[in-house]
A and B are shown apart, each in its own frame.
Chain A
C-alpha cells in the first residue's frame, strides 16, 4: 500500500483537520532543553527527533507500545526537579488508556503529555484509529481526572497549548489534532540500551 496516496484519502474524509504535525509540534514543544522527553514509538519519535536531534535528554521507544506515558510518570516521580514531557500518538495512547487514570491519581506537577492525534495508524497502512471514529482522547483524559487538558486543532490554539505544557500545577494533557500526513523524516537510534545509558549519564553529569 502506498503511504503517499492513502493519507490523501484519509484527509478527504477529515476536512476539519488543518494542522501539519511538522509545523505544530516544534512550536508546542518550544525550547526542548527545558524538558526530559519520552517519545512514543512510530511517528511521534520522529516528530521529537526533528525538534531535538539525537539528544541525550530524549528516550525514544521503538516498540513496547503503550509504554510512553507510564515511563514519563516513573521519570517525573523520580525527578521532581525536572519537567517531563511525554510525546505519544493516538494509537499508542489508545493501547494503554488506563495510564491516564494512574497519572491522574498520582498527578505529579512536572508531567505533561502531548498526544499527536492524526486519527490513523500511519506505520501499518493508514488504517483509521478510534479517534477517527468518534473517540475523544481529551475527554478521556479529563474524565480520568487530569485537571489541565486542551485540544489544539487550529493555529490559534497553539499558544495556549504550548503554555499548558509548561505552566501547570498538576499533570497536563494536550491533544494535538493534525492532518494524516507523514511525520518528519528522522533517522532514529533503535539501540534501547545505549539510549538508557546515555540518558542516565546525562542526568547524573551536571
Chain B
C-alpha cells in the first residue's frame, strides 16, 4: 500500500481539528474501517486521520463511483465503509447507486457541498444545486449539517440509519459549515 506519500499531507491538520476530529472519532467508534475518498479540501482532516490510523484502510479513488461499489463489497465481507466526496462527485455515482438501492446495501456518504451558500465559482452551481435531488432520486436520504454543534447528533443519526436500519444516507456538509470558496 502506497500510504507514505499521502501521509505527508498530515501536516495540513495542524491547528485545525474541532468538529472534523469529532466526526472522525464518531465514525471509528461506530465501526467504520474503510474510508474511500476522492481528495477534497472539505474532507482533508478525515482523509489525513484515516491515512494515519493503522486500524483502518484508506482508499484513494480515481472517481467517486468506485467508492459506491467498494462500499457494497465491504458490506458483503461484514465491514463498514464510508465514501468521502465533494458534491460534484455525486454526479459520477448515479448509475452505480443502482447497486445500493437494488440490493439494499447499507450506505453512508459524507458530501462536502460546493455550488451552494456563498459559492464564488459559477462552475460549481449546476452539480451543487442538483446534488440533493439526484441523491434522492436514487433512493438516498439526505441529512444536512450547517453548524458545528449539529455535527455529532446528525452523524450519529446517519450512522444509526445506515448501519442499524440498513438505509442509504448522505450527510451534506454545507458551505456554512465548511466555508465557501470566494474565488
* A195 pairs with B78, CB closer than 8 A: no
Taking CB atoms, residues of chain B closer than 8 Å to A77 are 34, 57, 59, 74, 77, 79
Closest CB of chain A to B62's CB: distance in Å?
3
Interface contacts (Cβ under 8 Å), in number, total: 121
Closest to B6 in A: A105
1/0 per residue B59-73: CB within 8 Å of A? 111110111111111
Contacts A75-B74, A102-B61, A196-B76 given: A70-B66 contact, CB under 8 Å? yes
Chain B contact-residue range equals 20 to 34
Contacts A203-B77, A203-B78 given: A74-B60 contact, CB under 8 Å? no
Taking CB atoms, residues of chain A closer than 8 Å to B77 are 36, 74-79, 82, 203
The 29 sampled A-B contact pairs (Cβ below 8 Å) are A38-B73, A63-B99, A63-B102, A64-B98, A65-B95, A66-B96, A67-B99, A70-B69, A70-B73, A71-B73, A74-B76, A75-B74, A76-B77, A77-B34, A77-B77, A78-B78, A96-B63, A98-B63, A102-B59, A106-B1, A106-B57, A107-B2, A192-B102, A192-B103, A193-B103, A196-B105, A203-B76, A203-B77, A204-B78
Residue positions of B touching A, CB distance < 8 A: 1-2, 33-34, 57, 59-63, 65-79, 81, 95-96, 98-99, 102-105
Residue positions of A touching B, CB distance < 8 A: 36, 38, 59, 61, 63-79, 82, 96, 98-99, 101-102, 105-107, 192-193, 195-196, 199-200, 203-204
